[in-house]
Amino acid sequence: MADVSLRKVVKRYDDVEAVRGIDLEIADHEFIVLVGPSGCGKSTTLRMIAGLEDISDGDILIGGDVVNDVPPKDRDIAMVFQNYALYPHMTVAENMSFGLRLKHYPKAEIKERVTEAARLLDITDLIDRKPKQLSGGQRQRVAMGRAIVRNPKVFLFDEPLSNLDAKLRVQMRIEIKKVHQKVRTTTVYVTHDQVEAMTLADRVVVMNKGCIEQIGTPNELYHKPATRFVAGFIGSPAMNFVPCRLEDVGGSLQIRLTDRIAFTLPPARAARYNALPRTDKLLLGIRPEHLTESHAHLEPGVETFDTVLDVTEPMGMETLVYFGLNGTPICGRVNPNAGAKDGSPMRLAMDLNNMHLLNEATGVVL
């Protein structure tokens, strides 16, 4: 097991820069998830760590050694691919032991490791089957088994759950987490699914357009996003962004959303935003769970307003309500018994204690 460092790593394809000088320190035993939309450079980064792509500039270190020119087979890594990449002509056991056989491990040790990995992944009964005879989830377990038996320094996962159905994905997510808790191997995991990122990672790396937007624990990313991109990418349904401006009214700081709607900021927020120029174009960032039905007893910093709902989506444990604020579509989360109906008026409460204020031009969270 080892730590992994990326130092000013760049990947260029002709004139296109897919990865733009990223720096990343991954500690030993850590589970890091690279997340971002398609084309953000996350898979390219993973493939560069694996040695499947050359790096155009910068350094990649595994266990303190620069591996820029080291071929994949000598990096002591294991990778799980999106479409499993199992050898169709080999049995499960042969697939899992392939790497060990190439390295001429003793037969007894190979058998022991394969048996142990199969037990860990609950695929002991499938050991003599060919990949064709397995379901998607079983194939993914075998692919993981192939990685585990090698006992590598680093595990690399390239969107391993993308080909599975929603239910199996949740199941396998838990399996992956359990396996990591047992083997504690440094893991780099690529996904475009922010739920996977949040649930699996010790730290999440959010990537966009070849750059790292933010690195942090799932909670940090959720509650303290650094940029509009991160704020909008993490969380489902996504954070709402409403154009707004700051106003001084009677000695207190207000945030004005529309001609009719303006709220006095709670003292903590007012102190934080007081120094901002009043002329700046700003965005109010508010998550749907902080836009709920109004109660009789509201906490300080929770402000109410009336609106007409466009659409409602009953989800069972909650109802998502959609409405417009000055033409901006907004989503809120209300209690299913709050009486929200399509086209009906409703009084909603906005929890300003959990608001974010962003600079509209730069997208930076203030």
Partner 1 sequence: MADVVVEHGRVAGATGARKRTSLHNALKRKSTVAFFLTLPLILLIALLVLYPALFSIHLATLNKSMQKFVGFGNFTFLFKRETFWMVVKQSCIFAITAVIFKALIGFIVAHFVHNIPAKGQRKWRGMLLVPWVIPPAMSTLAWLWLFDPSYSAFNYTLSLFGIGPVNWLGDAAWARFSIILVNVWYGAPFFMIMYLAALKSVPDQLYEAAAIDGANWWQRIWYVTLPMMRNIIAITTLFSLIVTFANFDIVRILTSGGPLDQTQIFATYAFRVGIESSDIPLGASVSLFMVPILAVAAIFILRDVNKRGNEA
CB of 89 or CB of 107, closer to partner 1:
89
CB of 235 to partner 1, least distance (A): 32
Q: Of 190 and 231, which has the nearer Cβ to partner 1?
A: 190
- Which residues in 141-160 contact partner 1 (CB under 8 A)? 146, 150
Closest separation in Å from C-beta 85 to partner 1: 4
* Least distance CB 65 / partner 1 (angstroms): 17
Q: Contact at 8 Å (CB) between 312 and 225?
A: no
47 versus 333: smaller Cβ distance to partner 1:
47
How many amino acids of this chain bind partner 1 (CB under 8 A)?
Answer: 24
Task: State whether the Cα torsion 158-160-164-168 is positive or negative.
Answer: negative
Evaluate the CA torsion angle 189, 194, 198, 203 in order and state its sign. positive
Q: How far apart are CA 26 and CA 49, in angstroms?
A: 12
Binding residues for partner 1 restricted to 52-81, rule: CB under 8 A? 52, 71-73, 77-79, 81
The phi and psi torsions of 212 (rounded to 5 degrees) equal: -85, 125
Whichever of 13 and 87 has its CB closer to partner 1, that residue is 87
Q: Measured from the CB atom, is 31 or 84 closer to partner 1?
A: 84
Question: What is the C-alpha to C-alpha distance for residues 215 and 225, in angstroms, rounded to an integer?
Answer: 10
3-state secondary structure of 251: coil
- State in angstroms the smallest separation of the CB of 76 from partner 1: 9
Stretch that binds partner 1, among 48-56, 163-171, 200-208, 273-281 (CB under 8 A): 48-56
Cα–Cα separations (whole angstroms), residue 269 to 33, 55, 111, 253: 32, 44, 61, 9
Alpha-carbon gap, residue 276 to 278, rounded angstroms = 6
Distance of CA 290 to the CA centre of its chain: 21
Q: Which segment (47-55, 244-252, 258-266, 321-329) binds partner 1 by CB under 8 A? A: 47-55
Give how far Cα 274 sits from Cα of 30, 253, 300, 315, 354, Å.
39, 7, 19, 39, 17
Binders in 84-113 for partner 1, by CB under 8 A: 85-89, 98-99, 102-103
If one asks whether residue 127 binds partner 1 (CB under 8 A), the answer comes out as no
Binding-site ranges for partner 1 (CB under 8 A): 50-52, 71-73, 77-79, 81, 83, 85-89, 98-99, 102-103, 130, 132, 146, 150
